[in-house]
Structure 1
Amino acid sequence: MQTYTSLQWARTAIWFIPLLWAVNYYVARQAPGVVEPYTLATVRWGLAGALLTVAARTELWAQRRHIAAVWHQYVVLGFCGMVVCGAWVYVGAQSTGAVNIALIYAASPVLIAVGSVLWLRERMRGPQVLGVAIALAGVLHVIVKGRWTALSEVRFVAGDLWIVAAMVAWAVYALLQKVWPSPMGPTARLAAICWGAMPVLLLGTAWEMVQPQTPPLTPHAWALGITAALVPGIAAYWTYGWAQKMLGASKVAVTLYLGPLYGALVAWLLLGERLGWFHLQAALLILPGVYLVSRPAPPSPG
């Protein structure tokens, strides 16, 4: 039985998930010219999968028949979560900025929340619906840089379209984890998903390696891959999967609205991208919205 303490930890942890993922925006923007997208994703998820497998080796062995019986689920989850939301993000980052990546990803909770209601039959209370609306207003405020008359001027570049595909894939990834419940814990399940992604990632890496313009794997490239594996890889995905089991898909997904704020902070501090007052204004909408969606339901009378 879930304890209130566990739920409290989950509600606290979800505020840090977008910060862990924001590190990936930095890695993605540093990668062009250093390491190719599929190669970077292979290093990231290969290392993450190896570490997770060691940590969950007993459970993985005990669940080997389950894994063999539903192997296709892990391939699909791996494709959505590690190929599209991994390699394709790195492809997109070659032509779009870290803040754009964060902004587009922030739309994922809309798809997840709608999918949770229509597909998973989850219920959203009035305050949660209000929270989604307020947080979405904050995201739009960031997109238009505080100038609401600029909505018609929003333009996507090629990189943005890759990130849109990743945003959709992330919503599918989050929902499928609920549609396909697993007897395994978060660590073992994430390890299995990592290995499910490896066939496509390795094929992509092999293709990149035979291209004449592909740079060699330098210490800088390995450092980017290891950072991506440990922070936005193991830490972020494990926390997301665990919190989703505790709180539900739509409640955890809304924390992705924090992505533009954390992503902008990383872009400003580490990438030299400029911040504006509209980011602070957006925070005053996004943070209360996240609170409304993630707060516990009041106890039923009687």
Structure 2
Amino acid sequence: MEGNLRWAALAAVAPVAWGANYYVTRQYLPADQPLWGAALRALPAGCLLLVAARERPRGVWWGRSAVLGTLNTSAFFVFVYVASQTLATSTAPMVMALSPLALTLGAWALLAERPRPAHLVAAAVGPAGVVLMLGGPGAQTRPAGILASLAAMLVSTAGYLLSKRWNSGPGVLSVTAWQLTCGGLVLLVPAALSEGPPPPVGGAAVGAYAYTSLVATALAFLAWFTGLRRLSAGTVGLLGLLNPVTGVLLGVSLAGEDLGLPQVSGMALVLAAVLCGRTRTPAATPPNRKGNTAEARGTGRPDGPAD
């Protein structure tokens, strides 16, 4: 149980970092260059992890890295960038709250990971809490932003399920490095053709790009994919609900957005959903006092002192 809690705590780093990334992107990065914003987020992170991994893809992993890079990096980062720039910090993660349910059901259908009833209940309660959080004063529902959030949720869910399906072979560090690098490279030509030269990086933008690339990407993706390898998809998906909670808290504390009773009630529901869906491990079977355990009988050694 302690081991699972440790992996869950590590995976929780990712949604908290992503929730803060909405604020950083909206406040400090240019609104009209989402392709460059996504590329400058992915490539430095991927190159840094490549140096650490010191391993290149082999065999089927060339194609898999391209697929995961397109889903988890190229498309996902662009959609998140658009959502961050068109919606309030507390509203941007709204549709992403459906990700735990999509991930849980997808893992059930595609990976044969049968969810516990608590996972299904929590995956339904969590979005209800997010609706409360985001339905108060100052909530924004711009169609472009909502559609971008929905697209981000769908492509990331597909990418996470494929990541879990292909979790054998190379280590998490290498796989994360490959997909971030591939995803960043895929964006370079479309960014140059549609948005012109890269945006100037100076002043506060330096720190913003450093945060989005190093913390919200390199660190967060390593934590997230490590959690996906160690825990069920349903458990990791529910941790993603910490994303909108972080967005709301930062929107209130830094962006001057309103916090009322609905937001507080919603956060309570979300946190309850995360706790309800936490991973449990089977209780250890107590030793048989009248004889030896199966393992002890197999070795011929008694379970304890002889009577």
TM-score strictly above 0.5 = yes
Instruction: Determine whether 1:99 maps to 2:95.
Output: no
Which residue of 193, 196, 203 maps to 1:210? 196
> Where does residue 150 of structure 1 map in the other structure?
none
Counterpart CA distance in 1 for 2:261 and 2:242 is: 16
- Is the CA contact 1:48–1:191 (under 8 Å) kept in the aligned structure 2? yes
Q: Cα distance 1:188–1:265, how it changes in 2: closer, same or farther (>3 A)?
A: same
> Where does residue 62 of structure 2 map in the other structure?
71
- Is the CA contact 1:84–1:166 (under 8 Å) kept in the aligned structure 2? yes
Q: How does 1:77-226 map to 2 (within 5 A)?
A: 77-145=68-136, 155-210=141-196, 215-226=199-210
Most deviating of 264-273 and 25-34 = 25-34
The amino acid of 1:102's aligned partner reads P
Counterpart CA distance in 1 for 2:33 and 2:186 is: 15
> Where does residue 277 of structure 1 map in the other structure?
261
> TM-score when scaled to structure 1?
0.85
> Where does residue 293 of structure 1 map in the other structure?
277
Identical amino acids, percent of aligned pairs? 28
User: By how many angstroms is 1:230 displaced?
Assistant: 1.3
Counterpart CA distance in 2 for 1:217 and 1:259 is: 27
SS in 1 for 2:257: coil
Counterpart CA distance in 2 for 1:238 and 1:215 is: 27
SS in 1 for 2:101: helix
Q: Cα distance 1:9–1:215, how it changes in 2: closer, same or farther (>3 A)?
A: closer
Considering fraction of residues, name the structure with more helix: 1
Name the count of aligned residue pairs: 285
User: By how many angstroms is 1:6 displaced?
Assistant: 3.2
- Is the CA contact 1:17–1:240 (under 8 Å) kept in the aligned structure 2? yes
- Deviations along 1:155-186, one digit per CA (max 9) or x if unpaired, are 54212211211111111111111222241222
Counterpart CA distance in 2 for 1:274 and 1:185 is: 43
- Is the CA contact 1:95–1:158 (under 8 Å) kept in the aligned structure 2? yes
- Deviations along 1:235-289, one digit per CA (max 9) or x if unpaired, are 2111110011111212101112222211111112222222222221112211121
* Structure 2 residue ranges without an equivalent (≥5): 287-307
- Is the CA contact 2:126–2:241 (under 8 Å) kept in the aligned structure 1? yes
Counterpart CA distance in 1 for 2:112 and 2:91 is: 32
User: By how many angstroms is 1:190 displaced?
Assistant: 0.5
> Where does residue 7 of structure 1 map in the other structure?
4
Most deviating of 32-41 and 187-196 = 32-41
Most deviating of 135-144 and 233-242 = 135-144
> TM-score when scaled to structure 2?
0.84
Instruction: Determine whether 1:227 maps to 2:211.
Output: yes
Structure 1 or 2, whichever has the larger Rg, is 2
Instruction: Determine whether 1:21 maps to 2:5.
Output: no
User: By how many angstroms is 1:215 displaced?
Assistant: 4.8
Output the aligned Cα RMSD.
2.5
User: By how many angstroms is 1:221 displaced?
Assistant: 3.1
Q: Cα distance 1:115–1:131, how it changes in 2: closer, same or farther (>3 A)?
A: same
The amino acid of 2:151's aligned partner reads A
- Deviations along 1:93-135, one digit per CA (max 9) or x if unpaired, are 3322222211111111111111011111101122222222332
Counterpart CA distance in 1 for 2:89 and 2:141 is: 16
Q: Cα distance 1:286–1:260, how it changes in 2: closer, same or farther (>3 A)?
A: same
* Structure 1 residue ranges without an equivalent (≥5): 147-152
- Is the CA contact 1:95–1:157 (under 8 Å) kept in the aligned structure 2? no
Most deviating of 47-56 and 178-187 = 178-187
Counterpart CA distance in 1 for 2:30 and 2:194 is: 13
The amino acid of 1:135's aligned partner reads G
Q: Cα distance 1:187–1:34, how it changes in 2: closer, same or farther (>3 A)?
A: same
